[in-house]
A and B are shown apart, each in its own frame.
Chain A
Amino acid sequence: MTQNNSGPLADLRILDLAGESGLFCGRMFAELGAEVIKLEPPGGDAFRSRGPWLAEEENNPEASLYHLHYNVNKKSVTINLLKPEGQALFKQMVASSDVVLETMTPGEMNSLGIGFESLQEVNPQLIYTTITPFGQNGPLSQWSGNALTGAAMSGLLYLNGDISEPPNQPAAEQAYHMASLVATWSTLIAIRARSTKATGSRVDISVQEAAAMATVQTANANFYTWHGELPMRGGMRHFGSRHLYLCRDEKWASISIRPVRWHDFVQWLNEEGVKPDLTSEEWSDPFYRRDHQDEIEEAHANLSKKFNRDELVRVGQSRRMLIVPVNKIDDLSQHTQLRERDFFKEVTYDNFADLKLEHPGPAYQFSLTKPPAYTRAPLIGEHNHYMYSDILNIARDRYDRLAIENIV
């Protein structure tokens, strides 16, 4: 056994037609070593118009940090799928690919003559993965949707925020992240099924259903079916008390006291002279505690005020309390644990005077199949030559004509 630097999915090729809802899926495949080829219309895809931007580069489609983040490690090839010759070229690409990932409205690819069935004719082993707001079939399949409405329709949005405020959208388009995560593992399951069935599969992900998986605990369906209860947004109350507290240095800490540590916690409060006093016998009863949350929260708040955040975390962890910092972006960027574990990947952008950017990296480390070094997000059509000449063997003069006719 030898370690390799090509990742566990090294010989897979993904044609990534995804818009925003599926970009993170392609990113995960690329991270795991697959060759992910972003297919964009001539001129570049719409996600390149999303901010934030590199400084002084606003509206430059190569400088959208949204694009750079989600398309790092991918290749880019331009193709006009609205034209018959573009469709024919796409089928040629499909013949040598493992996966097509797309996020169009159900039926749209069919109407272009490049739906699953047509593509299966050129590649019977193809995995065809779609991410749509409500799935390919079903009563709402033609409704439009985005990350906000996906979170709303899944039941996830209703649970976020404080009851004195409107429901609050998840940070950073989480409904799309959930859909992309589901698309990644389910596509890999379909790839595995290929080995026993010798045929490809169609994999159909609904953003609504994927995001609903985040509600399994907080809005477990049985709260309603058994008791008629409707879980509401409760701010930061979890397990009977808030968990975010302001520390002396105006930073925030997240505190969870497990029931088995209750007495240790009270002892700590006493050592610090924190009020109110929770030592009397009735506080040992978890049901009493549940009914007297205000005093417990007050004790948490007063304890937190005595310490700077990092000191509270250090002392709390040494006492085996679950206390961690509420990290801001700058905290994360400097985080010792993330640095020690090589979470950040430095990428050189030769197209911006060798600018070095740190991309957030993977969730995991493999002992054997190390991922390849990060490569910068691609320019629009940067890998056209690779695709059209090296893979599809298209002659130079035909390629030039395709470019003139706005097909590539």
Chain B
Amino acid sequence: MSIELNNPKPLEGLRICDFFWLIAGPACSRVFADWGAEVIKVESSNRLDEIRQTGSWPPDSVRSDDSHNGVFNDCNTSKKAIQVDLNTEKGIEVIKRLIAKSDIVTNNFTGERMDRWGLGYEDLKKINPELIMLTMPVMGTTGPQRNFGAIGNNVIALGGINYAMGFPGTPPTGMGPLYSDFAAPYFAASAILAALYHRDKTGEGQFIDLAQFQATASLLGPALLDYSANKTVPERPGNAHPDFAPHGVYPCAPATHNSDRWLALSIENDLAWERFTELIADPVLSDKSKFATNNLRKTHEKLLNDAIANYTSNHDVWVLAGRLQDEGITAGVTQDLSDVLDRDPGMRTQHFENLTDLAGRVTYTTHRQPVRINDQTAPMGRAPLFGEHNYEVYTDLLGYSDIEYAELVAAGIVN
């Protein structure tokens, strides 16, 4: 049975007053926007979301304003954007009018910023008792370090992920991407949807206090439990797996576009190892006295890895990964960006969508939501320009007349 999912879209009818900025926040509200909620991105008329000004820029020939970078457009699809000056009484009145008509308020400000504007949860629930409000500063809203300043790369350091990565005997290296900026928002989306589930049943709104630090620390797997049980402080494992070998990346033959090629390979049991050695027929690796069992392979892991690297370095990574997979062996290509877009047989069509800017001059290759519900992806619209929906939101939604809107513009509440 085929089930039509997107008519109406599953989150249609919800409205979010969205103060999120930078990356971690907008990556959360993007989930809601793509799946049908009306997400109204609120920016100060004096200071736009800094991510509009950072990231990957299109060629100068088509670049037309601040918003045209790939990162901003990937984190803010399907949203609307308005401006308001929150440091004015009039601006606060505008935003309270919006919040009264919203289901959810989101922000990732540090400390008491929302409270200083009179927009803390205790204030807002008076004007909207069913409101769900989520705040996600790095440290949360309570505790002695609640005002700590930190951004994404600091958060993965705080959360323990940086220290846990790297090769034995080398300094901590950590993740290349600012990983917490992409994991924390998915905790936030889950928490908001859970609170919505409760609200839909009971009519009760509530406040959610999310600490990005905690989200990141909770992704360390069993390591914190291992410390609690055994006081273990693990060594940096490089690419090794604690239980079996081989597990890691192995150099492959240079390709025309990139000489830095690596096969990811993981052999979890002796049966798979047997198939592997039969397939590659390498004299060193066929030595049963050194490698036949997982225990032996773990004992001779350095020798094992060197011999595998010696074999793989003469092979094309895509061809080799395909041959290994044909034998049921867990292998893959350590894909660079051009692999992901040009060589992976599914990603370009399944996972990416081309969106076009308002003037039709710039194409953004944008990640889709990484899930299919009843075989359907979330339909996406392009990200909004700075203040693009001012007039529409102020007049149609908030009920300001054309004259009142002109006054707000004249007063600098909107540009």
| A120, A136, A174, A213 interface centre (most CB from chain B within 10 Å) | A213
Say whether B186 contacts A182, CB under 8 Å: yes
Say whether B351 contacts A209, CB under 8 Å: yes
Give the Cβ gap from B292 to chain A, nearest Cβ, in Å.
Answer: 20
Measured between alpha carbons, how far is A69 from B219 in the docked complex, in Å?
A: 11
> What's the A-B contact tally at a CB cutoff of 8 Å?
504
B191 contact from A138, A212, A366, Cβ within 8 A: A366
Give the Cβ gap from B169 to chain A, nearest Cβ, in Å.
Answer: 11
Tally chain B residues at the interface, Cβ within 8 Å. 155
- For B39-77 the 0/1 string (1 means CB < 8 A from A) is 000000000000000011111000000000111001100
Q: For A178, what are the chain B residues with a Cβ–Cβ distance below 8 Å?
A: 182-183, 186
Measured between alpha carbons, how far is A178 from B216 in the docked complex, in Å?
A: 12
Query: Which residues 147-182 in A have Cβ within 8 Å of B in the complex?
Result: 148-162, 165-174, 177-178, 181-182
- For B249-279 the 0/1 string (1 means CB < 8 A from A) is 1010000011010101010100000000000
- For A237-271 the 0/1 string (1 means CB < 8 A from B) is 01100011010000011101010000000000000
Say whether A51 contacts B243, CB under 8 Å: yes
* Contact A195/B258 with A205-B371, A246-B171 known, Cβ cut-off 8 Å: no
**Majority SS at the chain A contact face:** mixed
* Contact A217/B55 with A203-B373, A324-B157, A363-B214 known, Cβ cut-off 8 Å: yes
Measured between alpha carbons, how far is A210 from B188 in the docked complex, in Å?
A: 16
Say whether B10 contacts A360, CB under 8 Å: no
Say whether A333 contacts B227, CB under 8 Å: yes
Say whether B160 contacts A365, CB under 8 Å: no
Measured between alpha carbons, how far is A51 from B346 in the docked complex, in Å?
A: 34
Query: Which residues 41-57 in A have Cβ within 8 Å of B in the complex?
Result: 49-52, 54-55
Q: For B145, what are the chain A residues with a Cβ–Cβ distance below 8 Å?
A: 336-337
- For B69-113 the 0/1 string (1 means CB < 8 A from A) is 111001100000000000000000000000000000000000000
* Contact A139/B174 with A203-B373, A204-B375, A330-B227 known, Cβ cut-off 8 Å: no
Say whether B239 contacts A209, CB under 8 Å: no
- For A205-233 the 0/1 string (1 means CB < 8 A from B) is 11011101111111111111111011111
B341 contact from A221, A236, A365, Cβ within 8 A: A221
Name which of B282-290, B328-336, B387-395, B398-406 contacts chain A: B328-336
Say whether A216 contacts B234, CB under 8 Å: no
Measured between alpha carbons, how far is A182 from B268 in the docked complex, in Å?
A: 26
Q: For B206, what are the chain A residues with a Cβ–Cβ distance below 8 Å?
A: 366-369
* Contact A190/B153 with A144-B329, A214-B183, A329-B223 known, Cβ cut-off 8 Å: no
Q: For A148, what are the chain B residues with a Cβ–Cβ distance below 8 Å?
A: 239, 241, 247-248, 264, 266, 330, 332
Say whether A236 contacts B173, CB under 8 Å: yes
B299 proximal to A (CB < 8 A): no
Q: For A49, what are the chain B residues with a Cβ–Cβ distance below 8 Å?
A: 243
- For B180-208 the 0/1 string (1 means CB < 8 A from A) is 01111011111101111110110011111
Q: For B201, what are the chain A residues with a Cβ–Cβ distance below 8 Å?
A: 11
Q: For B220, what are the chain A residues with a Cβ–Cβ distance below 8 Å?
A: 171-172, 329, 332, 360
Say whether A221 contacts B365, CB under 8 Å: yes
Q: For B369, what are the chain A residues with a Cβ–Cβ distance below 8 Å?
A: 186
* Contact A166/B143 with A152-B335, A155-B340 known, Cβ cut-off 8 Å: no
Q: For B241, what are the chain A residues with a Cβ–Cβ distance below 8 Å?
A: 148
Measured between alpha carbons, how far is A55 from B228 in the docked complex, in Å?
A: 11
Say whether A340 contacts B142, CB under 8 Å: yes
Measured between alpha carbons, how far is A327 from B215 in the docked complex, in Å?
A: 14
Query: Which residues 150-181 in B have Cβ within 8 Å of A in the complex?
Result: 150-151, 153-154, 157-167, 170-179, 181
Tally chain A residues at the interface, Cβ within 8 Å. 154
Measured between alpha carbons, how far is A326 from B212 in the docked complex, in Å?
A: 15
Q: For A253, what are the chain B residues with a Cβ–Cβ distance below 8 Å?
A: 157
Q: For A224, what are the chain B residues with a Cβ–Cβ distance below 8 Å?
A: 337-338, 341
A288 proximal to B (CB < 8 A): no
Give the Cβ gap from B233 to chain A, nearest Cβ, in Å.
Answer: 5
Q: For B262, what are the chain A residues with a Cβ–Cβ distance below 8 Å?
A: 152, 158, 166-167
B316 proximal to A (CB < 8 A): no
Say whether B365 contacts A341, CB under 8 Å: no
Give the Cβ gap from A344 to chain B, nearest Cβ, in Å.
Answer: 8
19 contacts between A and B (CB under 8 A): A32-B194, A145-B330, A153-B333, A155-B340, A167-B249, A172-B164, A215-B177, A220-B55, A221-B70, A221-B74, A221-B340, A221-B367, A225-B341, A236-B173, A254-B158, A322-B154, A337-B211, A358-B228, A367-B207
Extra A-B contacts (17), CB below 8 Å, given A212-B367, A214-B183:
A8-B194, A32-B194, A154-B335, A160-B173, A168-B239, A188-B193, A188-B197, A189-B11, A190-B10, A202-B375, A204-B371, A221-B74, A221-B341, A325-B157, A326-B162, A361-B214, A368-B204
Q: Which 8 A-B pairs have the closest CB atoms?
A: A159-B176, A222-B70, A149-B332, A254-B157, A152-B264, A172-B221, A363-B215, A181-B186
